[in-house]
Chain A
Amino acid sequence: MKRLLVRLWLPALGVAVWELVTLCRWLDPLFFPSPGLLLQTFWRLTRNGELAHHLGATLGRLGVAYVAGSAAGIAAGLILGSLPFWRQSVQGVLSGLYASPKVALLPAFLVLFGINDVSRILPAAISCFVLMTMYSVDAARAVKPNYVDLARSCGAGRRALFFRVYLPACLPSLFTGLRVGLGTGLVIVVAAEMLGAPSGLGEFIWITGQTLAVDKMYAGIAVCALLGAGTNYLFERLERRMVPWVR
């Protein structure tokens, strides 16, 4: 309860100040609708299923991109961690991809694959893949050789070495990567949706913004924020369960 209060007081204060500022008409309500109005809009759009429709579309694309990209990235990273030749060979490409802003690739994907879900999912999947490959390579290389010797001395074979030593040793870093990757993936999917998608939070925010339905636009942004906060919270819970030895 106390923790909840600590987490919520600052956002609550922000909303209160916002309400005050709009009440006093210090800001144009056309561009800065009051939190009260936003809440009404949010509630209306939730009731009529509009937000759920767009959230569903975004979640679907993000889910596919995130799960496929991250899983492939983890597998590639852990394998590369044990193959110095291939690691060094792909290092340059990976670092380049990692450092470049993936949203800059969106137009290229639209040209290559057309205006469809492939070009909305693939950029996010590639981002998650590159990110998780980087995190997993580093994690695999950071496994202390002591632990490997120890496990081998106990008679661990390749399978046991992977599942009882490498994987758990990497798990804390993998979780950090997965958490970062989810945020990155959301950014890219939403950005991609702004470029002519038929549905999705990005499309909704873009269209409502363009038509000056500012209250609706903010409702869409709020869903993105809640989605980010919610998944982050779930990740914390999952991490505590899966990595109980790290606190």
Chain B
Amino acid sequence: MRIRCDDLGVSYTSGGRNIDALAGVTLEIGEGEFVSLVGPSGCGKTSLLRALGGFVQPRSGTVTRSGDTGDGSIALVMQEDSLFPWMTVLENATFALEMDGVPRAAREDAAQPMLRRFGLAGRERAYPQDLSAGMKQRAAVARAFLSRAGLLLMDEPFGALDAMTRQMLQRELLDEWTSSRRTVLFVTHDVEEAVLLGSRILVMTPQPGAISAVFGVPFAYPRSYELTLTSGFVRLKREIHALLGVGPMEARTRG
């Protein structure tokens, strides 16, 4: 799926005041591209993602989604509440397929290998409340992968996970993207994660949220975690950090 937005503005009211979450955002994400969106918390990342997904009505500007990969639906993974508490792991993971009209038996056949890969075998009938945070997120990612959506919108999906689960899911995400070539927009506040995963990085600055810089990531796929130790990776990371205003603090601690 391709997404374009022109001069996008999103605002919401809070305590009777009108707050501009986004202003003048213009961007384009190509078919099958993996774009990371980084920025400090509260900079409007989630607003942008929700506007691009069509979940909020923009105050100004336009959003167009086009393209022929997938069924036109969107797979959404959020940081929390990504699973319906009233559905079992299996029902949650196969919900997108169910909405697509795939028969139950076929849905479950498709889900079994995925759930096994994600360490959820044997927990198919469990409800989300009985799962650890890591398992919940793995089930949510499984649903996104199982769906036929042409676009994956991920809003800090690994933000609350332990380092090991996060690395495992990052690897799975890259594998999945490499094989399916669906368009991915990945929101994170972790610069390292953004660089490790994305082929392009959008840097956002707050109040009102706007794209302040775009970086191409020059590293070829498949990527492994080793990449984070190379000097090119660290240089790019430092450049983005400086832009986000993390630089001066580093200087202070050094001096």
Residue numbers in B under 8 Å from A246 (CB-CB): 85
C-alpha spacing A165/B98, complex, angstroms? 14
Give the Cβ gap from B73 to chain A, nearest Cβ, in Å.
4
Interface membership of chain B positions 90-115, coded 1 if the CB is closer than 8 angstroms to chain A and 0 otherwise = 00000110011000000000000000
Residue numbers in B under 8 Å from A155 (CB-CB): 71, 73, 96, 99-100
C-alpha spacing A171/B85, complex, angstroms? 12
Interface status of A245 (Cβ within 8 A of chain B): yes
Contact of A153 (CB < 8 Å), options: B73, B86, B127, B128: B73
Residue numbers in A under 8 Å from B82 (CB-CB): 150
In which size bucket is the chain B interface? Answer: 20 to 34
A168 pairs with B84, CB closer than 8 A:
yes
B50 pairs with A154, CB closer than 8 A:
no
Interface status of B142 (Cβ within 8 A of chain A): no
B99 pairs with A160, CB closer than 8 A:
yes
Interface membership of chain B positions 46-74, coded 1 if the CB is closer than 8 angstroms to chain A and 0 otherwise = 00001001010000000000000001011
Which parts of A112-161 form the interface with B (CB within 8 Å)? 144, 146-147, 149-156, 160
Give the Cβ gap from A166 to chain B, nearest Cβ, in Å.
11
Give the Cβ gap from A157 to chain B, nearest Cβ, in Å.
8
Interface membership of chain A positions 153-184, coded 1 if the CB is closer than 8 angstroms to chain B and 0 otherwise = 11110001000110011010000000000000
C-alpha spacing A152/B84, complex, angstroms? 13
Known contacts: A153-B75, A154-B95, A245-B129. The answer to whether A146 contacts B81 by CB under 8 A is yes
Interface status of B147 (Cβ within 8 A of chain A): yes
C-alpha spacing A168/B86, complex, angstroms? 6
Interface status of A92 (Cβ within 8 A of chain B): no
Interface status of B211 (Cβ within 8 A of chain A): no
C-alpha spacing A156/B153, complex, angstroms? 17
Interface status of A11 (Cβ within 8 A of chain B): no
Interface status of A244 (Cβ within 8 A of chain B): yes
B84 pairs with A153, CB closer than 8 A:
no
B99 pairs with A150, CB closer than 8 A:
no
Residue numbers in B under 8 Å from A153 (CB-CB): 53, 55, 73-76, 149, 153
Give the Cβ gap from B237 to chain A, nearest Cβ, in Å.
31
A154 pairs with B127, CB closer than 8 A:
no
Interface status of B161 (Cβ within 8 A of chain A): no
Name the residue of chain B whose CB is nearest to the CB of A172: B86
Interface status of B135 (Cβ within 8 A of chain A): no
A149 pairs with B76, CB closer than 8 A:
yes
A147 pairs with B73, CB closer than 8 A:
no
Residue numbers in A under 8 Å from B87 (CB-CB): 164, 168, 245
Given A150-B76, A153-B53, A168-B87: 17 more A-B contacts, CB < 8 Å: A149-B50, A149-B76, A150-B78, A150-B84, A151-B95, A153-B76, A154-B95, A154-B99, A154-B143, A155-B99, A164-B84, A171-B86, A243-B86, A244-B127, A245-B86, A245-B127, A245-B128
Using CB atoms and an 8 Å cutoff, list the residues of chain A in contact with chain B. 144, 146-147, 149-156, 160, 164-165, 168-169, 171, 243-247
A-B contact pairs, 26 of them (CB 8 A): A144-B81, A146-B81, A147-B84, A149-B50, A150-B76, A150-B78, A150-B81, A151-B84, A151-B99, A152-B55, A153-B74, A153-B76, A153-B153, A154-B73, A154-B76, A154-B95, A154-B147, A155-B99, A155-B100, A164-B87, A164-B95, A165-B84, A168-B86, A169-B86, A245-B86, A245-B127
